[in-house]
C-alpha cells in the first residue's frame, strides 16, 4: 500500500506504518452508520488485516509446525485476531506437510481508562493457567503499546513453567515510554494514535467495526466515562 514500508532487514517489526500516514477517507468504505461522526479515518482496511494475518500464520507454522501448542487469547480486544489467526493456521494444516495441533484458552486483561493506559492491571482467568505447565504457549494479543502490560502477563505465565512462550501481536505502537519489548510475530507497527475496530474498543464501543480506524475527538467525548 502506498506510504507503507516492509523492512526486509528488520522483519520482526512487521509492516511499518509511518507517523505521517493519514489513513483512508471514510467514504471509501462501509461501516456501521452509528459511528459516522465518531471516526477520523480508516487506518488499516479489513482486507489488509486479513492478508497480514495469513502471512503471520505461515510464519508461525514455519517456526512451530509439528509441535502441540496452547493458544492463549488475550481478551477482549484480541478475540477477533485470535479467531482469524487460528482459522488461517487450520487452513495451512490442511494444505501442508506440517501440522500444528492447537488448544485455545483465554485470559482477560484490563488496563485502560478511556484512551489512557493505567498502572492498574487486572488479570481475569489467571487461576486456570496451571494447564500451561510444560506446554508450548502462543499468546495472541491485539495491540502492544508501552509493553508493560505484556511483560507483566509474561511474568505471570512464566510462573506456571511452560516449555516455551511466543507472542503474536497484531499491532505494536511506537511510544516514547516503550520498554523495548517486541512480540515474536508482529502484524503492523503503528504510530501512537488511538485506534478502534476489529475488536479493539473505546469503553466497549467500536468492537463491531471490521476495519481498524482512528477515533475522532468527538467520538472520545461521546463515549467517555
Q: Annotated catalytic sites, by residue?
A: 145
Q: What would the 3-class secondary structure string for the chain be?
A: CCCCEECCCCHHHCEECCCCCCCECHHHCCCCHHHCCCEEEEEECHHHHHHHHHHHHHHHHHHHCCCCEEEEEEECCCHHHHHHHHHHHHHHHHCCCCCCCEEEEEEEEEEEECCEEEEEEEEECHHHHHHHCCCEEEEEEEEECCCHHHHHHHHHHHCCCCCEEEEEEEEEECCCCCCCCCCCEEEEEECCCCEEECCECECCECCCCCCEEEECHHHHHHCCC
Amino acid at each position: 500500500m502506498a506510504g507503507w514500508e516492509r523492512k526486509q532487514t528488520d522483519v520482526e517489526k512487521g509492516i511499518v506504518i509511518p507517523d505521517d500516514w493519514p489513513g483512508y477517507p471514510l467514504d471509501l468504505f462501509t461501516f456501521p452508520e452509528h459511528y459516522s461522526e465518531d471516526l477520523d479515518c480508516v487506518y488499516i482496511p479489513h482486507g489488509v488485516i486479513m492478508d497480514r494475518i495469513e502471512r503471520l500464520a505461515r510464519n508461525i507454522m514455519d517456526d512451530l509446525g509439528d509441535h502441540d501448542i496452547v493458544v492463549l487469547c488475550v481478551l477482549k480486544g484480541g478475540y477477533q485476531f485470535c479467531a482469524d489467526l487460528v482459522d488461517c493456521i487450520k487452513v495451512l494444516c490442511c494444505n501442508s506437510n506440517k501440522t500444528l495441533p492447537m488448544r485455545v484458552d483465554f485470559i482477560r486483561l484490563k488496563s485502560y481508562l478511556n484512551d489512557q493506559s493505567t498502572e492498574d492491571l487486572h488479570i481475569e482467568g489467571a487461576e486456570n493457567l496451571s494447564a500451561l505447565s510444560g506446554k508450548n504457549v502462543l499468546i495472541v494479543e491485539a495491540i502492544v503499546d508501552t509493553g508493560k502490560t505484556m511483560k507483566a502477563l509474561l511474568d505471570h505465565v512464566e510462573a506456571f513453567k511452560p516449555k516455551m512462550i511466543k507472542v503474536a501481536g497484531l499491532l505494536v505502537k511506537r511510544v516514547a515510554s516503550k520498554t523495548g519489548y517486541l512480540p515474536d510475530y508482529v502484524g503492523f507497527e503503528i504510530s501512537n494514535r488511538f485506534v478502534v475496530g476489529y475488536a479493539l474498543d473505546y469503553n466497549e464501543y467500536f468492537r463491531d467495526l471490521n476495519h481498524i480506524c482512528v477515533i475522532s475527538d468527538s467520538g472520545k467525548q461521546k463515549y467517555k466515562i
